[in-house]
Amino acid sequence: MSFDVCIRNGMIIDGTGNERYKADIVIKDGKIAGIGSFPDAEARYTIDAGGRIVSPGFIDTHVHSDVMLLWDRQHACGLYQGVTTEILGQDGLSYAPLSKDNLEMYFKYLGGLNGTPDIPLDWSTVEEYRSKFDGTVAINTAYQIPHGVLRLETVGFRDVPLTGAHLEKAKRLLADGIDQGAVAFSTGLSYFPGSYGDTQELIELSRVLAEKDSIYVTHLRTVFKGEKFDAVQEALDIGWQSGCKIHYSHFRTGPNNAGKVDELMRPIDDAYQKGLDVSLELYPYAFGSSTGVIHLPPWTVEGGYESTLERLADKKLRPAIVRDIQKDFPNIDGTFSYLPSGRNDELLGLTFQQAADLRGQTVYEVLCDLLLEEKLAVGILGERPEDESVVKQIEDDLFELLSRPYYMVGSDAIYLGQNPHPRAFGSFPKLLRLAREKNFSLEVLINRMTQVPAERFGLKDRGVILEGKAADLVVFDAETVTDTSVIHQARTGPSGISHVLVNGEIAVWDEKVTGVFAGRALPVMR
């Protein structure tokens, strides 16, 4: 029998957590056709994986490639890391289901997070949006329905809770989206308009998830200093009261609680032990990245894109905006990573304070001015801890977290600007390197990057090396694989990941993309 691809002599880590073993893999029509010894097999392509690991393709459970992937369809930054599937629709911030007017407005409003590439905005439903990624891009995708769009389609960009007929319409939109293949429902309770929502509306929406056996995925609510509110507990309460599954986005220790994993995880571990169906994800960096709009006070952004720009331009309102930002973010910091107009290039790579000093303003004034000048498309990096011992402790904490069987990996990749966060280019190889350096089980790590997310999000033909499963595969050298992406020099790929297959097609050969667009829009399969 002739095959499409034969991978010979590799050491198989199959994604289940079981011990590695040596075998060949043969692939036919996008599926794994056999695992064993095939000395006489004929194939169009043969990969000698001697001395290397063959694993399932990695599943990135948290990315922001929702529109950039439709512009950069090759998506080398993901493929080079061994990622074969990405889950879109994160943090309650994406683009379906949306009416034409709301889609055009939200596309511009989210410019500082997802970019505004020159692509046609010609979809409305979840099914139509998902179809844009089917057979047209180099990587598989799955989609979560964002909380923000449900609010836009019901109450608009307003600071009011969802109740009555508006809530019922939002529930119908959510149910329809899940029926059209969405794998989960996401919230971003630090981002507008999702942060306008209250706990009760989230419980009511999550009852739909319980009925559909789906998942509530949450970027936790921002709690400002002095506020008595437990954002972690809010998510647990939503799970208990609705009966749905819960998933925490980008949940790990940071500079303020490094080394305190047990304290961080106690309420979640307790809920898990009591029977709540909960999972989490992390990325392996001690600092984050976001959009400048996140710092604006709630009243400033009511009405959406045009209304926000009008308020920023109103000199009479500016003192109130600055006052409220200063109240909510008294120690504001960060680095400007994305300013696309070309008018402010001298500020790229500068901290807020450096930019303010250069302009002779306060950090709050310069942020407001840049949001206005850049039409809200301002990308920012968080500050990396200066104390290397803190960074090391956070890296140690990662593996204490990943030892839990309900943890997985999500890069939280944002792809904008010359120097985006290195997590967009290095998350998965960095974890492979750190696991080697810290002697963490590679079988366990691969399990957390493959089978665990595949089963959690209903991608049942992915995540393991098994005959009949989709041939999403990665070949890498466990002894040398490493990340090269660092802050202020982020756009560099890893080394040691030689081959990547997506649906049986070779997407990376000898660490170079091949140009095939074999990605599929994956539906939930529960």
* CATH code for the domain in which residue 98 is found: 3.20.20.140
Q: State the pLDDT at residue 305.
A: 98
Give yes or no: residues 241 and 279 share one domain.
yes
Residue 1: the pLDDT is 78
Residue 419, pLDDT score: 84
Residue 498 forms part of a structural domain: no
Task: Assess whether 236 and 128 both reside in one domain.
Answer: yes
Question: Do 122 and 241 have their domain in common?
Answer: yes
More confident residue, 418 or 255: 255
Please tell me whether residues 341 and 284 are part of one structural domain.
Answer: no
Residue 228 reports pLDDT greater than 70? no
Q: Which of 341, 364, 381 is where one domain is finished?
A: 381
**Of 427, 486, 526, nearest to 86 (Cα)?**
427
DSSP class of residue 382 equals P
pLDDT at residue 236, as a whole number: 98
Using alpha carbons, list the distances in angstroms from residue 199 to 159, 204, 216, 239, 282.
14, 9, 13, 11, 24
**Of 381, 410, 437, which residue sits at a domain end?**
381
Distance (Å, whole) CA 2 – CA 40: 10
CA distance 94 to 102: 11
User: Would you say residue 144 lies in a domain?
Assistant: yes
- For residue 204, what are the CA distances in angstroms to 174, 175, 199, 210? 11, 12, 9, 10
Tens of pLDDT, residues 313-365: 999 999 999 999 999 999 899 999 999 999 999 999 999 999 999 999 999 99
Under a CB-based contact definition with an 8 Å cutoff, are residues 6 and 29 in contact? no
pTM: 0.97
- Are residues 439 and 327 part of one domain? no
With bands split at pLDDT 50, 70 and 90, how would you rate the model's confidence at 225? Answer: low
Share of the chain above pLDDT 70, in %: 99
**H-helix segments, 332-422:** 352-359, 363-373, 388-402
Residues in CB range of 300: below 8 A, 6 or more apart? 308, 311, 312, 321, 324
Average pLDDT of the segment spanning 222-236: 79
Residues 134 and 263 in one domain: yes
| 385 close to 333: Cβ distance less than 8 angstroms | no
In one-letter notation, the amino acid at residue 396 is D
- 246 and 371 housed in the same domain: no
- The DSSP secondary-structure symbol of 321 reads H
Is residue 210 situated within a structural domain? yes
Within 10 angstroms of residue 211's Cβ, the number of other Cβ atoms is 14
Residues 277 and 216 in one domain: yes
Same domain for 317 and 189: no
More confident residue, 278 or 227: 278
Residues forming a β-bridge with 60: 86
Q: Which tokens hold the place of 25?
A: 């893999």
- Is 69 inside a domain boundary? yes
**Per the structure block, which two tokens stand in for 62?**
């948290």
DSSP 502: E
Residue 201 and residue 66 share a domain: yes
Tokens matching residue 23: 């075998």
Name the pairing type of β-strands 289-291 and 473-476: unpaired
Question: Of 423, 438, 461, at which residue does a domain stop?
Answer: 461
Q: Are residues 455 and 310 in the same domain?
A: no
DSSP code of residue 351: B
pLDDT of res. 488: 85
Q: What are the backbone dihedrals phi and psi of residue 322, each rounded to the nearest 5 degrees, phi first?
A: -60, -45
Instruction: Report how many domains make up the chain.
Output: 2
Q: Specify if 37 maps to a domain.
A: no
Domain-embedded: residue 517: no
Averaged over 258-275, what is the pLDDT? 97
Cα–Cα distance between 325 and 138 in angstroms, integer? 41
Domain range enclosing 301: 294-381
| Tokens coding 501 | 């297959």
Q: Is residue 298 reached through a cis peptide bond, with omega within 30 degrees of 0 on the bond before it?
A: no
Q: What is the largest CA-CA distance in the chain?
A: 79
474 domain-assigned:
no
Tell me: do 99 and 225 sit in the same domain: yes
**Cβ burial 457-481 (10 Å sphere, 16+ → b, else e):** bbbeebbbbeeebbbbbbbbbbeeb
Q: What distance in Å separates the CA atoms of residue 276 and residue 279, rounded to the nearest whole number?
A: 10
Q: Is residue 507 part of a domain?
A: no
**Residue 250 above 70 pLDDT?**
yes
HEC per residue, 146-213 = EHHHHHHCCCCCCCCCCCHHHHHHHHHHHHHHHHCCCCEEEEECCCCCHHHCCHHHHHHHHHHHHHHC
Let me know how long the chain is.
526
Provide the pLDDT confidence category of residue 224 given band limits of 50, 70 and 90.
low
